[in-house]
């Protein structure tokens, strides 16, 4: 973008939708309430009720999804003409304990935490909806916008598929989202055209054999050794059966077998994830991974039972929608507030929406500038710099306003 174009975009006089101070404080309080009461996927009843109540108080008409949690809410009436822009948030928490010790809004629910920032995502879309609703009442919103509050992002294959089945994409032409990034300073976003996340599947394996005494492993199936070889050999085999640039990787999270040091067990269990950078390789992954497991298990005379759980494809950012987010951030913070970002090996079910409509996800900076410690996602001590809420709201409102002028 040229300096002249950037100057044309920048400024509240050109583009309304800056977050009012009173609403800013309310949204921080709303986010803290969600943080204190995390709910797992498809169980987000309190969260859904809180979002619904606040939207209704603003004069909007949110609709709870048919699955029982999550909502969809339109700002303005779609007349069947040009498709709407949709803003998406995920609302579920994680089944891990909140380990923050000096945080007044730490989780009050044992072994539950908003450790992935979904409380921030939810608050950002809620705040954007409230600002856009005010613009609509004032006659300043050029065309309708849809809010999607999706349940169960953390539950493979993701609640996005259920939300799509509930009709959230009807009348939608493009969709945008943010995801908290603790490696990016608050006040900034990270953008990337093309794949920004990776495919992610789940793998569960049971190995069985007759068992026996550790003094006579040659007379039975040495199941612990078989499990160990699956752990070490399968990732290596898989990595050599696709183009290495596809980044197909098997990583284990659990292995369990045996009860005594001198007894070869009859059963072993392993579970892990399969991640992939490339969508074409992801389509081949089940056959490749299952064949590798069977080969290693058979070599050690172990019977294998494999449950390959299909997860999500990569999130592939559409170039035009990525440009929309870049321009929207430039309006609010200037072009220096946008940085490039790499493709992550994390999975995100936002990808299912992008199988139907073009869209893009931005990485929302949540690290306090100058802070050296990175509180990573999916860790019990994760927290976010709450100034990121304002950034996300104003990013989305600017995107909605700019999108109205684009074909």
Tens of pLDDT, residue by residue over 237-264, are 999 999 999 999 999 999 999 999 999 9
Sheet of strand 84-90, all strands in order from the earlier edge strand to the far edge: 63-64, 71-75, 145-150, 84-90, 172-185, 359-367, 189-191, 338-340
Q: What is the pLDDT of residue 213?
A: 94
CB 105 within 8 A of CB 119: no
Over residues 173-200, the pLDDT tens digits come to: 999 999 999 999 999 999 999 999 999 9
Is 60 exceeded by the pLDDT of residue 12? no
Q: Give me the percent of the chain exceeding a pLDDT of 70.
A: 96
Is 50 exceeded by the pLDDT of residue 161? yes
Backbone angles phi, psi at 56, to 5 degrees: -65, -35
pTM of the predicted model as reported, rounded to 2 decimal places: 0.91
Backbone angles phi, psi at 54, to 5 degrees: -70, -35
Is residue 382 packed enough to be buried (19+ CB in 10 Å), middle (13-18) or exposed (0-12)? buried
Over residues 22-34, the pLDDT tens digits come to: 999 999 999 999 9
The three-state secondary structure class of 225 is helix
The DSSP element (H or E) to which 305 belongs, if any, is strand 303-312
Over residues 192-226, the pLDDT tens digits come to: 999 999 999 999 999 999 999 999 999 999 999 99
CA separation for the pair 62, 74 (Å, rounded) = 7
Sequence-distant (6+) residues with CB within 8 A of 301 are 209, 221, 226
Q: What is the pLDDT of residue 180?
A: 98
Is 50 exceeded by the pLDDT of residue 7? no
Distance of CA 318 to the CA centre of its chain: 17
Q: What is the DSSP letter of 3?
A: H
What is the pLDDT averaged over residues 346-368? 97
What is the pLDDT averaged over residues 108-115? 98
Is 80 exceeded by the pLDDT of residue 73? yes
Confidence of residue 11 (pLDDT cuts 50, 70, 90): very low
The distance in angstroms from the start CA to the end CA of the chain is: 18
Q: Give the range among 9-13, 307-311, 369-373, 401-405 with minimum mean pLDDT.
A: 9-13
Q: What is the pLDDT of residue 407?
A: 56
Of 133, 80, 132, 177, residue with least CA distance to 401 = 132
CB 352 within 8 A of CB 164: yes
User: What is the C-alpha radius of gyration for the chain, rounded to an integer number of angstroms?
Assistant: 24
Confidence of residue 2 (pLDDT cuts 50, 70, 90): very low
CA separation for the pair 400, 324 (Å, rounded) = 9
Of 259, 275, 258, 276, residue with least CA distance to 267 = 258
């Amino acid at each position: 973008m040229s300096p002249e174009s950037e100057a044309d975009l920048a400024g509240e006089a050109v583009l309304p939708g800056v977050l009012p101070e009173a609403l800013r404080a309310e949204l921080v309080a709303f986010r803290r309430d969600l943080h204190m009461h995390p709910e797992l996927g498809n169980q987000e009843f309190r969260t859904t009720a809180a979002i619904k109540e606040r939207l209704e108080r603003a004069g909007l008409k949110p609709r709870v999804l048919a699955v029982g949690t999550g909502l969809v809410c339109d700002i303005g009436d779609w007349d069947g003409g040009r498709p709407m822009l949709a803003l998406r948030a995920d609302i579920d928490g994680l089944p891990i304990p909140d380990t923050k010790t000096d945080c007044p809004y730490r989780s009050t629910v044992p072994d539950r935490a908003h450790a992935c920032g979904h409380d921030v995502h939810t608050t950002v879309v809620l705040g954007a909806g409230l600002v856009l609703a005010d613009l609509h009442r004032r006659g300043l919103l050029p065309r309708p916008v849809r809010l999607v509050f999706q349940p169960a992002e953390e539950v493979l294959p993701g609640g996005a598929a259920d939300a799509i089945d509930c009709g959230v994409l009807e009348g939608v032409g493009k969709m945008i989202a943010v995801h908290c990034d603790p490696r990016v300073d608050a006040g900034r976003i990270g953008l990337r055209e093309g794949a920004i996340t990776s495919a992610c599947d789940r793998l569960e394996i049971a190995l069985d054999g007759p068992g026996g005494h550790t003094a006579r492993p040659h007379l039975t199936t040495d199941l612990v050794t078989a499990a160990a070889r699956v752990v070490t050999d399968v990732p290596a085999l898989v990595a050599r059966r696709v183009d290495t640039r596809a980044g197909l990787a098997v990583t284990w999270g659990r292995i369990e077998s045996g009860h005594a040091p001198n007894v070869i067990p009859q059963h072993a269990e392993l579970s892990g994830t399969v991640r992939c950078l490339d969508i074409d390789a992801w389509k081949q992954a089940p056959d490749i991974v299952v064949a590798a497991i069977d080969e290693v298990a058979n070599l050690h005379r172990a019977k294998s039972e494999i449950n390959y759980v299909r997860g999500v494809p990569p999130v592939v950012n559409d170039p035009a929608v990525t440009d929309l987010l870049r321009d929207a951030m430039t309006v609010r913070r200037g072009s220096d507030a946008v940085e490039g970002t790499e493709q992550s090996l994390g999975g995100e079910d936002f990808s299912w929406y992008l199988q139907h409509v073009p869209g893009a996800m931005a990485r929302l900076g949540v690290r306090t500038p100058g802070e050296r410690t990175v509180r990573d996602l999916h860790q019990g001590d994760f927290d976010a710099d709450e100034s990121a809420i304002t950034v996300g709201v104003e990013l989305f409102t600017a995107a909605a306003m700019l999108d109205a002028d684009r074909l």
